[in-house]
């Protein structure tokens, strides 16, 4: 280890900037990994904590998807002998209008029985009326809040809190304050408790409960209780411990987590190239030193250990910095993730605490160090192979050996041939992905050779542009391909991924827009919330008539959406009057014919499903699907498959009357409203608000607003593309600075001669800049070509395995048009510092014989 | 043509190195001067200062009446490009460029029209008797030939001053003599002011004037 201090430290100090840049790849990857993991964990933990806290002593929870169930289910549950206590619950979140407070999660319970499951620990009892729950019940405007919420908003017993209810705006009176801790810690303290029968009115639940919390009788195990309840209730109900909700939420969060993890792992992967590059360069620059060490008796093992040790230290420092950076970003990432979950799935979020798993930090640290060491492995081995005598021969080592080149090219062609074979057999999905992997391998193997050829190709134009500066810049690339190949490879990969993601994004947004144009064509949407995803409030069925009575309204279509479990996944049931809806929309029919669909589905003799559901769960036309409902399983044939983007995991379109019958739920989430020909949308909108707004909580959205909202949500997902572009940008800057720093040190003599015989500063800078731009251009060329291929694979993967809706192959010219200037400018920026170093270094020293 | 007044050059490292101390030197237009002295006596430093590759720590240098200290970096480069030709011991040719391209280097840097550059570069190679080597890379040439290319490059603008730092130091005796003859020939034909740093007594004695350096100071100045 003495070697590390004596040999490595001075080198690092001398090349400080480069050393810092080298570790930046690791920093970035580890930071992304830690930040994302921390954020997701915190969001998930906050969700679980809320579930757990408000579950109290409940061991099991009875639910029926998102539809809820009628009150009489409670009696059926209570009749089960294994049940000690059963308490009905309605849970929903509201906007309180208190500044900066976010949402208030309302837990509505039946106070008479609820204390057998939950502990209500109130502040100074004598002042509170709560001591008598019946008094509380008698006043439906009562609200209990937590100490924390009360403290933040200056509330106390008797204070008023206002929010919109299904019966218009209402004032609620704080009749009790929960002590801190226990249940009061749920939802970041933003918890309100209300009487369940009041809540049925407030949230438009009719005579329904969202779920029933169960305490089991003494001596009854969880499994026994679960079995007994399932038997008593039938298959339409879910009986699970409270933690089951966490799992469901996790599966929603999962899609997003996977996407983000891929991004961070990719950043680490690119880090491998940057580190490899740095070490390869260091080894060549330090050949003489290595030769001397070898001559002085250092063994090959010691040399290898020296370089691996360096990489381990670099990895450790980089990972540590990455962990710190990741932790710093966790909070804002958690906020972003929470928002996304709320916008897409309508699950209210309140993440106040940031949770970090020290074990994961350790894993990230180890991963960072391992990445660094893997990257340094080949250069370290090469260093160990240096012969003392060879070390003094300069220049030769940077040439890509012809033999090596040929082997690589052969391996690349083999990989390419195999990947084509895989493509031909891509029906078998693992082979398809193997083919993708082989293509990536081929691209990486070919990158050095291709970048050399491209540099040769560029020499002409560069020379034409600037006879001296241009040809020297190209020559620098041609003569030392090793110096640039790793940078070009990293750039190629990250650009290819950015392009592939960009293409996928573009195609998705376009198909979603096409779909919206065909199906989201009502003039107005009447919703219970500003975001179409939230389902806290529900309209009564009677509102359909009220809307129809508004002058100018031509047609009103009630829609009720509720997730149920189908094939183990939360799938959306869209219950509507299919006949009326189908008269207005343009469907893209994937399977089945319009006529059968239009006769059978509206009669309730079949369901229409989304294409993604059919692909993801392998459901075909004519098959019978079984939907779990509170009245028992509902079996219907699939009479049509249409293109659909309303739910990521798939949707089942069901005739409303059938839904109402089976789910005993006639509430409505959304009314699609068409205005009469000639009537002004704005005027109708005003009329609706005027007539209904006073006694109903409602939001009337125009067609434009809804489309913008959907596009906005889609774009939020596609924000990942920009993260990729950002990673590409970082790679470009890191790699190019790194390569150029070495290049100008390699070209010191040449640049010195140039200056000696009359090269002005601008001309010296020019040649360095041209080299940088050439690297950028080569990376862009290879990245674009590779990206075009990657895009093909991603489109296939998404269409067949991930989303289930086929995407058009659309090359994202826009993204490329963005990347070209961004990368070239990044290249120029990267060249600024090295160019200045070149201009300012001592001429005399440059010209001296070394 | 060249005048140095009280010129010193120090290198400040851990210890201060005196490379040149209070040098006064005056060289007339068209003179041919050899500079001799033991290794480390400051010969290269002197040449580098005159050639504007480096700036003195103190003192004043004038080239063709122009005070070097007042010039910006780029102006100094222009002075170098237009008025001074360098010939180095290790040739300093750019390995990736052909002979013609190497010779054309300063012409391109000045931005002359390409046709003219090509004509001139070929004429210069003719002048140093390398007409048949136009499109060869430096690697393919012998030492003497490389030095000829370097000389052709130095003559690109027919500079009034030619500076040669041990031009024969890396060549065998025979080739060295040939190069020396070429330099003398150029002196006669072009009437340039020429400074040659050398170890070689025959080279030194072939010049009408010899300046001797010792321990960073001028220790002798002989005219024949
Ligand atoms: N860049 C430098 N840094 C420090 N000392 C230098 C540098 N260049 C030259 N010297 C020192 O200056 C002195 C003169 O060097 P130089 O002019 O090259 O001598 P000569 O060419 O006569 O052999 C020597 O002692 C040398 O070590
Ligand atoms: Mg010398």
Q: Which residues of B touch A475 (CB under 8 A)?
A: 96-97
Whole-angstrom Cα distance, residue A495 to residue A819?
8
Where does A555-619 have alpha helices with state H?
578-584, 594-600, 611-616
**Contact: A749, B92; criterion CB under 8 Å:** yes
Confirm or reject: Cβ of B17 under 6 Å from ligand 1. Answer: yes
Mutation target among A756, A761, A763 for the B interface, most CBs of B within 10 A:
A756
pLDDT band at B6 (very low <50, low <70, confident <90, very high): very high
Compute the average pLDDT of residues A434-459: 92
* CB interface of A with B, residues 744-763, below 8 Å: 749-750, 752-763
> Using one digit for the tens of pLDDT, what is the confidence trace for A593-617?
989 988 999 999 999 999 999 998 9
What does each C-alpha distance from A372 to A26, A58, A277, B69, B175 come to in angstroms? 7, 49, 11, 50, 53
* CB interface of B with A, residues 178-207, below 8 Å: none
Whole-angstrom Cα distance, residue B202 to residue B209?
13
pLDDT at residue A781 in the model: 96
What does each C-alpha distance from A113 to A84, A131, A145, A196, A705 come to in angstroms? 11, 14, 19, 11, 44
> What values do phi and psi take at B19, rounded to 5?
-95, -30
DSSP β-ladder status, A670-675 and A589-591: unpaired
- Which is nearest to B84 in space by CA: B101, B102, B69, B64? B64
> What values do phi and psi take at A192, rounded to 5?
-125, 145
In terms of pLDDT, which residue wins out, A130 or A34?
Answer: A34
User: What letter would DSSP give residue A539?
Assistant: B
Of all protein residues, the one whose alpha carbon is nearest to atom 6 of ligand 1 is B11
Of all protein residues, the one whose alpha carbon is nearest to atom 21 of ligand 1 is B44
**Cα three-residue angle A105-A213-A80, rounded to 5 degrees:** 165
* CB interface of B with A, residues 127-156, below 8 Å: 153-154, 156
Confirm or reject: Cβ of B44 under 6 Å from ligand 1. Answer: yes
pLDDT band at A125 (very low <50, low <70, confident <90, very high): low
> Using one digit for the tens of pLDDT, what is the confidence trace for A163-199?
888 887 888 888 888 888 788 888 888 888 999 998 9
In terms of pLDDT, which residue wins out, A127 or B115?
Answer: B115
Q: For chain A, what percent of residues have pLDDT higher than 90?
A: 27
Q: Which two tokens stand for residue A723?
A: 């993260």
Q: Which two tokens stand for residue B200?
A: 């070689």
Query: Is any Cβ of chain A less than 8 angstroms from the Cβ of B86?
Result: yes
CA dihedral A71, A77, A78, A84 (to 10 degrees): -130
User: What letter would DSSP give residue A759?
Assistant: -
Where does A346-391 have alpha helices with state H?
358-385
> What values do phi and psi take at A701, rounded to 5?
-110, 140
B77, closest residue in chain A (CA to CA): A758
- Which is nearest to B205 in space by CA: B183, B192, B222, B218? B222
pLDDT higher than threshold 70 for residue A571: yes
pLDDT band at A730 (very low <50, low <70, confident <90, very high): confident
What does each C-alpha distance from A628 to A353, A604, A644 come to in angstroms? 37, 16, 22
> What values do phi and psi take at A531, rounded to 5?
-95, 135
Compute the average pLDDT of residues A410-424: 91
Compute the average pLDDT of residues B10-28: 90
DSSP β-ladder status, A60-63 and A238-240: antiparallel
pLDDT band at A396 (very low <50, low <70, confident <90, very high): very low
pLDDT higher than threshold 60 for residue B205: yes
In terms of pLDDT, which residue wins out, A589 or A36?
Answer: A589
Whole-angstrom Cα distance, residue A499 to residue A487?
18
Q: Which two tokens stand for residue A305?
A: 């250990």
Whole-angstrom Cα distance, residue A74 to residue A77?
5
- Which is nearest to A587 in space by CA: A653, A632, A535, A523? A653
Whole-angstrom Cα distance, residue A834 to residue A475?
18
B85 CB-side CA count, 13 A: 29
Of all protein residues, the one whose alpha carbon is nearest to atom 13 of ligand 1 is B19
Q: Which two tokens stand for residue A21?
A: 């840049």
Transcribe B106-120 into DSSP letters: HHHHHT--HHHHHHH
Compute the average pLDDT of residues B148-155: 92
Is there a contact between A152 and A185 (Cβ–Cβ < 8 Å)? no
Q: Which two tokens stand for residue A106?
A: 């309302």
> Using one digit for the tens of pLDDT, what is the confidence trace for A516-533?
888 888 999 998 877 777
Query: Is any Cβ of chain A less than 8 angstroms from the Cβ of B11?
Result: no
pLDDT higher than threshold 80 for residue B37: yes
Reported pTM: 0.79
Helix, coil or strand: residue A124: coil
Of all protein residues, the one whose alpha carbon is nearest to atom 4 of ligand 1 is B11
pLDDT higher than threshold 90 for residue A479: no
Is there a contact between A638 and A587 (Cβ–Cβ < 8 Å)? no
pLDDT higher than threshold 80 for residue B98: yes
Q: Which two tokens stand for residue A147?
A: 């100490």
Distance (Å) from the alpha carbon of A844 to chain B's nearest alpha carbon: 6
Q: Which two tokens stand for residue A266?
A: 């990719």
Of all protein residues, the one whose alpha carbon is nearest to atom 12 of ligand 1 is B19
Q: How far is the CA of B129 from the centre of ligand 2 (A)?
A: 28
Strand partners, A539: A668
Whole-angstrom Cα distance, residue B2 to residue B14?
33
Compute the average pLDDT of residues A293-314: 85
What does each C-alpha distance from A665 to A63, A210, A229, A230, A652 come to in angstroms? 14, 11, 22, 21, 17
**Contact: B105, A478; criterion CB under 8 Å:** no
Percentages helix, strand, coil for chain B (3-state, rounded to 5) are 40, 30, 30
DSSP H/E element including A497: helix A481-519
Q: Which two tokens stand for residue A233?
A: 């209730």
CA A450 to chain centre: 34
Is there a contact between A590 and A641 (Cβ–Cβ < 8 Å)? yes
Q: Which two tokens stand for residue A709?
A: 């909202």
pLDDT higher than threshold 70 for residue A403: no
Is there a contact between A746 and A836 (Cβ–Cβ < 8 Å)? no
Confirm or reject: Cβ of B206 under 6 Å from ligand 1. Answer: no
Q: How far is the CA of B179 from the centre of ligand 1 (A)?
A: 26
Confirm or reject: Cβ of A131 under 6 Å from ligand 1. Answer: no
In residues, how long is chain B? 224
pLDDT at residue A559 in the model: 94
Compute the average pLDDT of residues B219-223: 90
Closest residue to B77, CB basis, from A475, A755, A844: A755
> Using one digit for the tens of pLDDT, what is the confidence trace for A43-52?
888 888 888 8
Q: How far is the CA of B184 from the centre of ligand 1 (A)?
A: 28
First to last CA, chain A: 30
**Contact: A758, B54; criterion CB under 8 Å:** no
Query: Is any Cβ of chain A less than 8 angstroms from the Cβ of B56?
Result: no
In terms of pLDDT, which residue wins out, A727 or A229?
Answer: A229
Q: For chain A, what percent of residues have pLDDT higher than 70?
A: 93
pLDDT at residue B215 in the model: 92
**Cα three-residue angle A402-A405-A407, rounded to 5 degrees:** 110
Q: Which residues of A touch B114 (CB under 8 A)?
A: 467
Helix, coil or strand: residue A609: strand
Compute the average pLDDT of residues B32-49: 93
Q: How far is the CA of B18 from the centre of ligand 1 (A)?
A: 8
Q: Which two tokens stand for residue A786?
A: 């590779």
Q: Which residues contact A49 (CB under 8 A, 6 or more apart)?
A: A185, A186
pLDDT band at A800 (very low <50, low <70, confident <90, very high): confident
Q: Of the ranges A29-38, A483-492, A669-678, which is most confident?
A: A669-678
pLDDT at residue A745 in the model: 82
pLDDT band at A395 (very low <50, low <70, confident <90, very high): very low
DSSP H/E element including A788: helix A761-797
pLDDT at residue A2 in the model: 65
Confirm or reject: Cβ of B41 under 6 Å from ligand 1. Answer: yes
DSSP β-ladder status, B84-87 and B161-165: parallel
Percentages helix, strand, coil for chain A (3-state, rounded to 5) are 60, 15, 25
A478, closest residue in chain B (CA to CA): B96
B85, closest residue in chain A (CA to CA): A757
pLDDT band at A850 (very low <50, low <70, confident <90, very high): very low
Closest residue to A760, CB basis, from B53, B74, B156: B74
pLDDT higher than threshold 80 for residue A387: no
CA A575 to chain centre: 29
Confirm or reject: Cβ of B72 under 6 Å from ligand 1. Answer: no
Confirm or reject: Cβ of B9 under 6 Å from ligand 1. Answer: no
Q: How far is the CA of A847 from the centre of ligand 1 (A)?
A: 13
Closest residue to A843, CB basis, from B54, B108, B109: B54
> Using one digit for the tens of pLDDT, what is the confidence trace for A775-790?
999 999 999 999 999 9
> Using one digit for the tens of pLDDT, what is the confidence trace for A67-105?
888 898 999 999 999 999 999 999 888 887 776 667 888
Q: From its phi and psi, is residue A552 left (phi > 0), alpha (psi between -120 and 50) or beta? A: left
CA B72 to chain centre: 21
Compute the average pLDDT of residues B90-110: 90
Q: How far is the CA of B40 from the centre of ligand 1 (A)?
A: 6
Lowest mean pLDDT among A154-168, A262-276, A749-763: A262-276
Lowest mean pLDDT among A72-86, A144-158, A635-649, B199-213: A144-158
User: What letter would DSSP give residue B30?
Assistant: T
Helix, coil or strand: residue B96: coil
Transcribe A279-336 into DSSP letters: HHHHHHHTHHHHHHHHHTT--HHHHHHHHHHHHHHHHHHHHHHHHHHHHHHHHHHHHH
Q: Which two tokens stand for residue A1?
A: 């280890």
Lowest mean pLDDT among A172-186, A453-467, A760-774, B123-137: A172-186
pLDDT higher than threshold 90 for residue A457: yes
């Amino acid at each position: 280890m003495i070697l590390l201090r004596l040999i490595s430290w001075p080198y690092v100090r001398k090349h400080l900037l480069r050393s810092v840049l080298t570790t930046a790849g690791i920093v970035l990857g580890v930071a992304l990994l830690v930040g994302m993991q921390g954020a997701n964990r915190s969001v998930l933990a906050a969700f679980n904590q809320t579930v757990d806290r408000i579950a109290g002593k409940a061991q099991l929870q009875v639910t029926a998807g998102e539809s809820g169930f009628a009150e009489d289910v409670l009696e059926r549950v209570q009749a089960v002998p294994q049940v000690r206590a059963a308490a009905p619950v309605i849970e929903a979140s509201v906007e309180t209008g208190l500044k900066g407070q976010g949402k208030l999660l309302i837990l509505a319970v039946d106070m008479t029985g609820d204390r057998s499951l939950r502990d209500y620990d109130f502040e100074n009892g004598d002042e509170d009326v709560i001591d008598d729950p019946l008094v509380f019940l008698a006043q439906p405007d009562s609200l209990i809040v937590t100490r924390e919420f009360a403290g933040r908003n200056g509330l106390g017993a008797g204070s008023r809190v206002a929010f919109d209810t299904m019966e218009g705006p209402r004032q609620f009176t704080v009749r009790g304050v929960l002590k801190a801790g226990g249940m009061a810690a749920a939802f970041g303290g933003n918890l309100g408790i209300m009487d369940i029968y009041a809540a049925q009115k407030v949230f438009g639940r009719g005579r329904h409960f969202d779920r029933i919390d169960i305490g089991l009788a003494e001596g009854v195990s969880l499994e026994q209780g679960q079995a007994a309840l399932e038997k008593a209730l039938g298959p339409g109900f879910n009986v699970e411990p409270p933690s089951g909700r966490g799992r469901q939420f996790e599966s929603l969060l999962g899609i997003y987590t996977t996407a983000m993890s891929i991004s961070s792992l990719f950043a680490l992967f690119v880090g491998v190239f940057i580190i490899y590059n740095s070490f390869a360069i260091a080894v060549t620059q330090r050949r003489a030193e290595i030769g001397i060490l070898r001559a002085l008796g250092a063994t090959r093992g010691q040399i290898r250990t020296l370089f691996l040790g360096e990489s381990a230290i670099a990895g450790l420092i980089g990972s540590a910095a990455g962990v710190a950076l990741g932790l710093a970003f966790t909070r804002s990432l958690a906020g972003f993730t929470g928002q996304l979950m709320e916008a897409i799935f309508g699950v209210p979020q309140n993440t106040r605490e940031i949770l970090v798993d020290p074990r994961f930090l350790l894993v990230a640290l180890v991963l960072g160090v391992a990445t660094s060491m893997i990257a340094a492995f080949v250069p370290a081995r090469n260093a160990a192979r240096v012969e003392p005598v060879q070390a003094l021969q300069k220049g030769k080592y940077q040439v890509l050996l012809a033999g090596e080149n040929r082997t690589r090219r052969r391996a690349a062609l083999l990989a390419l041939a195999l990947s084509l074979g895989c493509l031909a057999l891509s029906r078998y999905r693992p082979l398809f992905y193997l083919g993708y992997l082989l293509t990536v391998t081929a691209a990486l193997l070919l990158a050095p050779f291709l970048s050399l050829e491209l540099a040769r190709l560029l020499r002409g134009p560069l020379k034409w542009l600037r006879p001296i500066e241009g040809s020297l810049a190209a020559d620098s690339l041609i003569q030392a391909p090793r110096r640039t190949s790793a940078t070009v490879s990293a750039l190629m990969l990250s650009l290819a991924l950015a392009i592939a993601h960009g293409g996928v994004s573009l195609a998705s947004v376009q198909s979603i827009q096409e779909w919206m144009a065909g199906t989201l064509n009502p003039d107005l949407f009447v919703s219970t919330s500003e975001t179409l995803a939230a389902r806290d409030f529900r309209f009564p069925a009677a509102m359909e008539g009220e809307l129809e009575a508004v002058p100018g309204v031509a047609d009103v279509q009630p829609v009720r959406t509720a997730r149920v479990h189908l094939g183990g996944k939360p799938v959306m049931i869209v219950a509507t009057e299919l006949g009326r809806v189908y008269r207005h929309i343009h469907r893209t029919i994937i399977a089945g014919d319009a006529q059968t669909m239009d006769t059978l589905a509206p009669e309730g003799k079949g369901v229409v499903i989304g294409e993604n559901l059919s692909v993801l769960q392998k459901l075909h036309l004519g098959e019978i699907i079984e939907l779990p409902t509170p009245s028992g399983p509902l079996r219907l044939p699939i009479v049509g498959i249409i293109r659909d983007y309303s739910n990521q995991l798939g949707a089942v379109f069901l005739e409303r009357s059938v839904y109402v019958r089976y789910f005993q739920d006639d509430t409505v989430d959304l009314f699609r409203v068409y205005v009469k020909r000639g009537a002004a949308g704005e005027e109708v909108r005003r009329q609706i608000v005027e007539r209904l707004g006073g006694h109903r909580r409602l939001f009337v959205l125009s067609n434009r607003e809804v489309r913008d909202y959907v596009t906005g949500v889609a774009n939020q997902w596609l924000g990942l593309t920009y993260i990729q572009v950002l990673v590409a940008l970082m790679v470009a800057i890191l790699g190019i600075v790194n390569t150029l720093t070495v290049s100008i040190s390699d070209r010191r003599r040449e640049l010195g001669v140039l200056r000696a015989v009359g090269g002005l500063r601008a001309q010296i800078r020019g040649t360095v800049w041209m080299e940088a731009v050439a690297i950028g251009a080569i990376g862009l060329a290879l990245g674009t070509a590779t990206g075009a291929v990657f895009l093909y694979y991603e489109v296939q993967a998404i269409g067949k395995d991930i989303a289930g809706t086929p995407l058009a192959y659309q090359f994202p010219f826009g993204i490329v048009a963005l990347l070209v200037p961004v990368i070239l400018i990044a290249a120029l920026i990267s060249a600024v510092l090295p160019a200045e170093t070149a201009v300012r270094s001592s001429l005399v020293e440059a010209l001296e014989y070394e | 043509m060249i005048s140095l007044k009280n010129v010193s050059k120090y290198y400040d490292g851990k210890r201060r190195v005196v490379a040149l101390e209070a040098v006064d030197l005056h060289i007339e237009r068209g003179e041919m001067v050899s500079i001799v002295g033991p290794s480390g006596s400051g010969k290269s430093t002197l040449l580098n200062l005159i050639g504007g590759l480096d700036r003195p720590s103190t003192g004043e240098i004038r080239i063709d009446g122009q005070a070097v200290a007042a010039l910006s970096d780029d102006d100094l480069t222009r002075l170098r490009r237009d008025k001074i030709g360098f010939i180095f011991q290790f040739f300093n040719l750019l390995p990736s460029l052909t002979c013609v391209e190497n010779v054309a280097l300063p012409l391109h840097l000045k931005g002359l029209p390409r046709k003219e550059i090509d004509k001139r570069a070929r004429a210069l190679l003719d002048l140093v008797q390398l007409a048949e080597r136009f499109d060869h890379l430096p690697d393919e040439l012998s030492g003497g030939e490389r030095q000829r290319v370097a000389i052709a490059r130095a003559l690109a603008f027919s500079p009034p001053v030619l500076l040669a730092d041990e031009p024969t130091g890396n060549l065998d005796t025979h080739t060295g003599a040939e190069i020396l003859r070429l330099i003398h020939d150029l002196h006669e034909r072009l009437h340039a002011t020429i400074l040659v740093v050398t170890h070689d007594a025959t080279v030194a004695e072939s010049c009408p004037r010899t300046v001797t350096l010792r321990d960073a100071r001028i220790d002798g100045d002989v005219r024949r």
